[in-house]
Structure 1
């Protein structure tokens, strides 16, 4: 805001008072003209002093603003009473620069972490080959299980970095549900076989519009949950159902089940529920949180029904969004 505009109302008020003063003494009193002139001189000196001081303040403000505009920091708090477009544009430029710097730093950290993950996969692959030479079958399976767990943890780390990135890379296109489900089953085949899961594939001929890699990761997490909390005679069933406004993919497993009071909170970050689980796994409460976050980014919905000791059904809702993506 221009400082002169701030002072203008005061000058108008002074002008009105000045003319009212003259009108009063000239027409309503018997004041001598010499006294009136003397008072006028005092008024002119007072107003002149005010204007001189006002001009000095304006010059000082302009000098301060020019000095601050050369700095690469926010200056609006220091010039709050005198904000103008130039100050706001300067602060906007500073904020954009800070955001760009944070984004660049975040990108560098992500690149470093991705590089580390890919580098660690080389000795892991070598370890897997060496493990094949172990004669003790029980020991070989135990080592392979731990190697697979490390690989899954590394994959989750990469996904979590991508999720926390300022820009989420999405490639929306027609995707076969059958392809995604089979790929995810293959990703988890070691643990599914180890746990002796029975797999049922229903109708999966539907095609949905989504990001294939993200959807496969979501299915990986849901399958991993089913494996973690499996009980006797575990099974997994997959089936797609066409609905009025889109397609639903149902993932059904039979494990511990989820308490009624936990269902509304299972997608919260870090929430592990009240179940004691089977004692084999330590839950972090992040898997389903990532699932919900990814599906929200993709524009899909998810709901769950379950009961303790009974089947648990996760349903992913795919809206018919072809028009939205111009597909």
Structure 2
């Protein structure tokens, strides 16, 4: 801070120095003025000036030191009252700006909440005609027309579902209900949802569930598995997707392995980043870069760890490791 203060007061210091040098110069060239008394006066003046600068440094920087330690929460009540008129101008200006920012932040927060509520309401409203559309598609007898319609319907359904859960994530902790969840029921339900898409692509499932019960929230776990299965089907051709559960280090693991295009090794550290799409086929407009990001977001409150391994052209394996009961003590209270 002292270096900053001296630099701020450099003009005063330069003026003081130049003035005293002028006195010495005048005494030097004018023989009528004795040089030694002038040097003595300059020396005494310099001592007083150093003491003066030290005192002013302590006084003038006190306010700015407190301001520098301000916690930046738009509340300057923790900053002590200013000592000088200029500090008072700064303090008043900061208070006014902080009030304006708090007001703007509050208004923006209300607008965002309103937009979120409107979007959630819209999604729920859209689900009604979407359900009716699905029933009409099921009544079609023309299979060559029915299959692509079901596929397009499924895409809309999955996108709406993804958007709905994404908007609910901000208050996900309030919605959690941790209980014993049957993996087989959850997985088969999600496979059934993707059935028409899998038939169209010639994709089957090899399911090996040695462990069928985990401790989790059934609704949010279903969403996670839905994102992983959607990715596996989307980026695979005719092949089987292997789903198996096991015990590792006293914890239940669920592995979903496909044999699709895979992920480039350099992309693996970024697969959970929002909006990141693979560099293998960067022009793939079907990729949104949201599936694994949302899966990761949901996994954190559920205490589920995710591991992704992949080789380009050989497929991708995603492993979910579920927590033990003791890990959920704070959430379940048991």
Instruction: Provide the rounded CA distance (Å) in 1 between the counterparts of 2:111 and 2:125.
Output: 21
> Any gaps of 5 or more consecutive residues in structure 1?
1-72, 83-93
Give the alignment partner of residue 139 of structure 1, picking from 145, 154, 171: 145
2:247 aligned with 1:270: no
RMSD (CA atoms): 3.4
Cα deviation for residue 111 of structure 1 reads 3.0
Alpha carbons of structure 1 residues 202 and 104: separation in structure 2 relative to 1, 3 Å: same
2:307 aligned with 1:303: yes
2:127 aligned with 1:121: yes
> Any gaps of 5 or more consecutive residues in structure 2?
1-73, 84-99
Contact 2:275 2:289 in 1 (8 A): yes
Instruction: Provide the rounded CA distance (Å) in 2 between the counterparts of 1:303 and 1:249.
Output: 11
Cα deviation for residue 221 of structure 1 reads 0.6
Instruction: Provide the rounded CA distance (Å) in 2 between the counterparts of 1:246 and 1:167.
Output: 23
Instruction: Provide the rounded CA distance (Å) in 2 between the counterparts of 1:181 and 1:166.
Output: 22
Question: How many aligned residue pairs are there?
Answer: 247
2:242 aligned with 1:237: yes
Cα deviation for residue 176 of structure 1 reads 1.8
Instruction: Provide the rounded CA distance (Å) in 1 between the counterparts of 2:221 and 2:183.
Output: 9
Contact 2:181 2:216 in 1 (8 A): yes
Contact 1:204 1:240 in 2 (8 A): yes
Aligned to 2:273, what secondary structure does the other structure show?
A: coil
Instruction: Return the TM-score normalized by structure 1.
Output: 0.65
2:37 maps to none
1:292 maps to 296
Alignment of 1:164-179 (within 5 A): 164-165=170-171, 169-179=175-185
Cα deviation for residue 280 of structure 1 reads 6.7
Cα deviation for residue 166 of structure 1 reads 8.0
1:76 maps to 77
Cα deviation for residue 78 of structure 1 reads 8.7
Instruction: Provide the rounded CA distance (Å) in 1 between the counterparts of 2:329 and 2:206.
Output: 33
Contact 1:177 1:204 in 2 (8 A): no
1:249 maps to 254
